[in-house]
Structure 1
């Protein structure tokens, strides 16, 4: 399933084996057949694509439906039809089974009704959609290096040239407030941040919850602009320790105990500099190695945050680097906005194509 890219709509082979070793227990298909994931959440995620093989025949997961175009239909036209959001939604409604084992039945695909203009017209429509999709693909290819560039620049500039310090040497670490029913008796209601609010270098403030606290608790856990918030526990080892910067988005706000706050000594450390580092793959390695696993949850402690290693150039160099990264992020935002427009245009073309309006 991992070899089928939902964005490019192409399924590429992992490796080659003798047919006798894979003739049983796999789905068999031809090169250029269309593969559609049966199972949730792969179907909902748009795992539908064309097999692009190095041999005439391939095998793959039994969780694929195989769709082979006939003489009266162009395969690219058929693929674009099947990739429409309306088809995904309708297939989701027809799923059978329960929980993580829900699947789109073969009967759903067999019973789909598709507009069938002459082959030349199908090819013309498919060519328009292919071209629009190629523009989206090129735009996505621009995003990947922009996303990886800050981490790459950080490592090449600071890994060997400056001393490594522990985070506790350049600031203070503070745990948060535990959520419990006993808080109902406390005198003051205040907004608080939880794990869902703290993404990687991004705060999601679409839903802010409230808790009741004492004046002393609020004083201890109040957030101020420049605070860093580390995620203390997560089901994924790759998300534990992710960090985001608080810029004073709310006038008054505290944090719960599943977030660990770090407050930098601003004369020695630019908080955004630390945020960039700890959200790179190398910077996050400390938390992945130190995390403990209990009942499927990976957790770190305040001690883990205190001992986190950080390259420390002079403050002026930190600030210059942050400016450079902000420039890269501005470029990335412009590309993301253009990609959103491309996606909107492609969706419009898809809708019109199968209504006979192209």
Structure 2
């Protein structure tokens, strides 16, 4: 079944954001919360970091706030009045357009919208780019029916993501239950430093590596996630370049990686035997396994107390980087080794549970994408 389409600006009021004067910004909750761009979006509602005493473009509850600059396409539902900065626009459905139908259609159209982005430094779209988008417009009752089906899919994915979050929370709870809070060392464990509990502390290549289209993976700080390594968005180098770099820094299974620039203090264990190289923005710690296990050290360095310690050290540097010296001097509490091993076994059980949730989430996302595609082709 096909249905007529309408231009978005014929069925929706488009309110383009405008940046307030800089001197009006504050963090004391004075005035309106400011939505400057996608970085001020939370999982379910806006999560602004600043306020402004001056606002010329303000959202209403129920508006869809759409990111239109730098990151184009993410969206969030307004639950109140927010100042709309230059990186966003508010979409306010007119009678005849169901709000949830608009919400799901924007998700389906995000790639097409992002493709309209222009700009040398930051890609952005304007009012005309938004307004000329064609949205299918079946009767409102049919819009509500389709939106209801897609809402159910959204709910299932949200629950699966919440389950993954609970697994992460459980891992942190197990750590504190077994070892206490590192900030207070309430269990009175022996204290050492990273240098004392490591066979090696180093970082990646300091010179610019000779990159190529394919070959051995070259990782930077962006590839170090909290608890895992992202091997997807990587550069590549040849075997000769890898051999040269590996003489100084040769990652192996069981090593612990730390991001040293950008988002500082993310920590992940190496859980692969595939060879790869690192650039300077990643530090490598090779645990002395007679003192600390990889699982324990990686989890310990991910605790809020140690993350805060690393951030303080980085801010004390003129370049806002975390260097080898401060890493070597990071404090490490050393519980009995058998307790660390027991923790690792419990962590492995959680990892298996997490893998199941990740697989199910991927299946749900694929199903949802198919449903959404069919919904806007009139096939549901």
The residue aligned with 1:298 is: 321
Do residues 274 (structure 1) and 297 (structure 2) align?
Answer: yes
The residue aligned with 1:52 is: 79
Identify which of 89, 113, 119 aligns with 2:140.
119
The residue aligned with 1:324 is: 346
Do residues 166 (structure 1) and 193 (structure 2) align?
Answer: yes
| TM-score, normalization by structure 2 | 0.74
- Contact persistence 2:195–2:201 (CA under 8 A): no
Identify which of 229, 237, 257 aligns with 1:209.
237
Identify which of 50, 56, 65 aligns with 1:35.
65
Whole-angstrom distance in 2 between the partners of 1:181 and 1:81: 44
The residue aligned with 2:93 is: 69
The residue aligned with 1:352 is: 374
Partner of 1:263: helix, strand, or coil? Answer: strand
The 5 A counterparts of 1:1-358 are 1=35, 2=39, 4-5=41-42, 7-8=43-44, 10-11=45-46, 25-41=55-71, 43-44=72-73, 46=74, 48-53=75-80, 59-84=83-108, 87-100=109-122, 102-158=123-179, 159=181, 160-161=186-187, 162-175=189-202, 178=205, 180=207, 194-195=219-220, 198-205=224-231, 207=234, 208-210=236-238, 212=240, 221-231=249-259, 233-236=260-263, 239-240=264-265, 242-247=266-271, 249-250=273-274, 258-291=281-314, 297-301=320-324, 303-358=325-380
Q: CA deviation at 1:133?
A: 0.8
Change (3 A) 1:109 1:177: closer
Unaligned ranges ≥5, structure 2 = 1-34
Q: CA deviation at 1:249?
A: 0.6
Q: CA deviation at 1:337?
A: 1.4
Partner of 2:55: helix, strand, or coil? Answer: coil
- Contact persistence 2:157–2:365 (CA under 8 A): yes
Q: CA deviation at 1:313?
A: 1.3
Query: Residue deviations 1:105-124, cap 9 Å, x none?
Result: 11122222222222211111
User: Aligned-residue CA RMSD in angstroms?
Assistant: 3.5
Whole-angstrom distance in 2 between the partners of 1:72 and 1:262: 60
Partner of 1:136: helix, strand, or coil? Answer: helix
- Contact persistence 1:27–1:64 (CA under 8 A): no
Q: CA deviation at 1:176?
A: 5.2
Q: CA deviation at 1:265?
A: 2.8
Whole-angstrom distance in 2 between the partners of 1:142 and 1:249: 30
- Contact persistence 2:55–2:83 (CA under 8 A): no
- Contact persistence 1:27–1:62 (CA under 8 A): no
Partner of 1:149: helix, strand, or coil? Answer: helix
- Contact persistence 1:25–1:62 (CA under 8 A): no
Partner of 1:234: helix, strand, or coil? Answer: coil
Runs of 4+ in 1 over 6 A off after TM superposition: 12-15, 213-217
Counting matched residue pairs gives 330
